[in-house]
Amino acid sequence: MKKPKVVVLRWGHRPKRDARLTTHVALTARALGAAGIIITDIEDEKIKGTVEKVVKNWGGPFFLEMGIPWQKTVEKWKEKGGIIVHLTAYGENIEESNVLERIKALKKDVLVIVGSQKVPREFFSEKVSDFNVAVGNQPHSECSSLAIFLDRYFNGKELTKNFENAKIRIIPQKRGKKIVKNDNF
């Protein structure tokens, strides 16, 4: 049976203010096992260029879509039978509750919503989110909450993932830096 995939929905990106953070959300999503990221409601060519360059050099597969209204993204995801997890400090605590087991037990593709500014109220409702998950009930960041959620979802296995068509790979060292460059990994 095919493993369920995880895709990230980044809501509320403000091109001037959030460029670096949204790029980090995308890089976190890619490095920690998500299949892709959808930046809704807005186009930002600079982020697209940065992420595409990382995928070209460091491998994939990893997709980036942007500009689609969040409502459409949610609607399409649900139509295809996927579930939606909204990461929020107000949700069920990932450590204290069994919310992660309930998510995994469904064995369905997961769309993980992360916000930036205050998110629309509907994100908390059943109409949008199947689960509201808190990575601790203290406010922090979309990047840290996404990283911890993905790491727990994949049980750390994503940290040894083999990225396809990479031109550069790191050879882990106790000290210093070693990379190999290859066009035919």
Ligand X SMILES: C[S@@+](CC[C@H](N)C(=O)[O-])C[C@H]1O[C@@H](n2cnc3c(N)ncnc32)[C@H](O)[C@@H]1O
Instruction: State the residues that interact with ligand X by CB under 6 A.
Output: 87-89, 114-116, 118-119, 134-136, 138-142, 145
Closest approach, Cβ 165 to ligand X, in A, equals: 31
- For ligand X, the closer CB: 135 or 150: 135
Taking CA atoms, 80 is separated from 77, 90, 110, in Å, by 5, 27, 11
Q: How many CA atoms lie within 13 A of 64 on its CB side?
A: 26
Q: How far apart are CA 23 and CA 129, in angstroms?
A: 24
Q: What is the amino acid identity at position 112?
A: V
Q: How many CB atoms lie within 10 A of CB 174?
A: 4
- For ligand X, the closer CB: 103 or 166: 103
- For ligand X, the closer CB: 50 or 132: 132
- For ligand X, the closer CB: 13 or 166: 13
Among 134, 61, 147, residue whose Cα is nearest residue 99: 134
Closest approach, Cβ 150 to ligand X, in A, equals: 12
Closest approach, Cβ 13 to ligand X, in A, equals: 11
Closest approach, Cβ 3 to ligand X, in A, equals: 24
